[in-house]
Amino acid sequence: MEQNLTRREARENAFLAAFSATFHEDDPNPAMLNQPESNEHPLDSFSLRILRDMEQHSEEIDSLIAENLKGWTLNRVPRVSLVVMRVALAEMLYGDEKKPGVAINEAVELVKKYGDDKDYQFVNGLLGTVARKMGQTPAEQC
């Protein structure tokens, strides 16, 4: 039976599943998607949708991130920041709600919670740049 999660909880649990999967590089996607029964960090339909979109569009998402890195490569981006940006971009680009400001704000909050002190500024800047290039307004906080 699916638990009712807030969007914030669903995003965080999707992030945690995706982050955990990065430690199983031999086959990360099944590790991400096989956690719905986890009691500690359950995945609902919203979080599973984000994870599936991340998986299906991983090359495009990583390409967007790489194109907007200034003097960096994907390998240099801290793991927490990279996974948070992937989660946010999956929601921004492929989700039904089309609220980039909300996705960016939630990404910033996740990086503040799980990342290094100033990583949130980097994540906010990169996601805002991508949103503007995609014709989305990052400030839309509906």
Could you write out the three-class secondary structure of 38-99?
CCCCCCCHHHHHHHHHHHHCHHHHHHHHHHCCCCCCHHHCCHHHHHHHHHHHHHHHHCCCCC
Alpha-carbon distance 85 to 134, whole Å? 15
pLDDT 10s digits, 29-86: 544 555 545 567 788 899 999 999 999 999 999 999 999 998 889 999 999 999 999 9
Alpha-carbon distance 123 to 61, whole Å? 14
Return the amino acid letter for 13.
N
pLDDT confidence of residue 23: 84
